[in-house]
Each structure stands twice: as C-alpha cells, then as structure tokens.
Amino acid sequence: MNKIRTALVAGVFAATASLGFSSANAAGDAVHPPEHHWSFSGLFGTYDRAALRRGFEVYKGVCAGCHGLRLVAYRNLMDIGFTEDEVKAIAAEVDVPAEPNEDGEIEDRPGIPADKFKSPFANENAARAGNNGALPPDLSLIIKARHNGANYLNALLTGYKDAPVDKKVPDGMYYNTYFPGQLIAMAPPLSDEGVDYADKTKATVKQQAEDVVTFLTWAAQPELEERKRTGIKVILFLLLLTGLLYVVKRRIWADVH
C-alpha cells in the first residue's frame, strides 16, 4: 500500500512539474507588453469622452466587420456622449430579425437603441468560414479576458512587424511581436488614415489603437468610473469614522492613567 501511495504522489508531482514547465515555456513565448498611460488608470482615472467616441468610430469602421460586441446595446452609447438621435441613426443602419409575423415567418427590421450590437456573422461556422478557419473573438469582454488587457491589446494592434529572417511565416499568418508564438491569423487591422475621425484628429495607427482600446475598456467595464467614485467615498467615510472613534476613545479614557 505504501509503495502504491508513494508512486501516486510521485506521479502527481511529476505531472504538476511538467504542467508548470509547459506553462512557463508557453508564457516565455510572449513578449510582455509595454505599460501605457491611460486616462482611466489609477484611483481617480476617468474615461476620455473624445477618445471613447473616436474608439467607437474605429470599432465600427475597422473591427465590426469581423468582431462582435454582443453584450453591448446601442443605447449604451448614450453613456459616452452620443445623443439619442445619433444612437437611433447608428442602430437603424443594421437590420435585425423581427418577431414572427402571422404566418410564422421572421423578417428583418431596422435596429433600435434597445438592440444589442449585431454580430457580423450568423453563427460560429460562418465566422470560421469567412476567416480561413480562425474564429474572431467577440470584443465585449476582451479587455477582461486578456491579462493586462488594455496594454496587451494596444501592443498587439501596434505590434505587427516584418518577421526575422529565421522565422518562417506560413501563408495566411502574420508576425506580431506581442502575440504568443508571434504568429497570428488576423491581418494588421489598422493603417494610417484608416478612418476619418469626425473631430478631425489625425488617424495614425498609434492614435487608433489607443482610442479603440479605450472604447473596448469601457465596453468591458462601463461601471469603472462609478466604482471608483464609490471607492473614494468609502475611503473618506472610513477616514472620518477613524477620526471620530479616536476622539471618542480619548474622551472615554481621559481620566484613566
């Protein structure tokens, strides 16, 4: 029995060590993204409203053709500065399935603010068929789904380069410094002047990357600003309470030596 127990322990230890070694190797393939200063970073950070609007323009003009935003409704855009009329116009640009008619047939209707962002593909198989077998991820929570999400995505969008001479890049793949393994199926999505910003900001690759990352961070964490405001209020309350308790303690124990 002792021999069996010893063998089992040794096997578990070996398996764990092997997994740890493999994970370390896999992590070692990825280059750590550089830190970037974001307006929403830190205790008092907030979203840059102009960047959010520009980020939506980048998403709509560049990303929406392949990547969905299924957890965000069009009406949520009013939270970042879009007017009700603007949101209605944005939603009406897409057709979504309506309720079945009297004959049980489903027809399309123009989108309304209450609708979620329409997916670019009808289903996963259609998405893979349109992207050489690769499945473009939904971007609703991409910032939360990736470690160091904002910095990683910013680095990824700006990390396309010519591959080193000793690195073979298969057809349909691209070299990206910050993608694990450095080979990615997504072609470089951004290019200088790739979008025409409504506020006339110069649309460099760097600017577009920063703007769309800001927008996608908001999509994943729309409550971020309210959460920080609540946190500050709690800290101030605790500081005040601590002061009051100290004064009360001094008064109660003032005559005790």
Q: What is the pLDDT of residues 205-231, one digit of tens each?
A: 999 999 999 999 999 999 999 999 999
Amino acid sitting at position 89: A
Q: Is residue 207 part of a domain?
A: yes
Query: E strands along the chain, which residues?
Result: 95-97, 108-110, 174-175, 183-184
Label residue 11 by pLDDT band (50, 70, 90): very low
Structure-block tokens of residue 30? 């990825």
Is residue 190 located within the same domain as residue 243? no
* Unique residue bearing structure tokens 């092997």: 18
Query: E strands along 5-94, which residues?
Result: none
CA-wise closest residue to 153 among 6, 2, 36: 36
Is residue 172 located within the same domain as residue 205? yes
Is residue 180 located within the same domain as residue 67? yes
Is residue 247 located within the same domain as residue 208? no
Label residue 30 by pLDDT band (50, 70, 90): low
Is residue 213 located within the same domain as residue 242? no
* Unique residue bearing structure tokens 């694990």: 180
Q: Answer whether residue 244 shows pLDDT above 70.
A: yes
Is residue 228 located within the same domain as residue 218? no
Please report, rounded to a whole number, the percentage of residues in the chain having pLDDT higher than 90: 76
Is residue 165 located within the same domain as residue 206? yes
Q: Is residue 199 part of a domain?
A: yes
Is residue 206 located within the same domain as residue 228? no
Question: Domain count of the chain?
Answer: 2
Is residue 241 located within the same domain as residue 153? no
Residues 126, 135: contact at Cβ < 8 Å?
no
Is residue 185 located within the same domain as residue 170? yes
Structure-block tokens of residue 148? 């160091």
Q: Look up the domain containing 255 and give its range.
A: 223-257
Residues 70, 96: contact at Cβ < 8 Å?
no
Q: Is residue 26 part of a domain?
A: no
pLDDT in tens, 145-199: 999 999 999 999 999 999 999 999 999 899 999 999 999 999 999 999 999 999 9
What pLDDT is stored for residue 29 in this prediction?
A: 62
Is residue 121 located within the same domain as residue 212? yes
* Unique residue bearing structure tokens 């409203």: 49
What's the pTM value of the predicted model, to 2 decimals? 0.82
- Summary mean pLDDT of the chain: 88
Residues 149, 217: contact at Cβ < 8 Å?
yes
Residues 108, 95: contact at Cβ < 8 Å?
yes
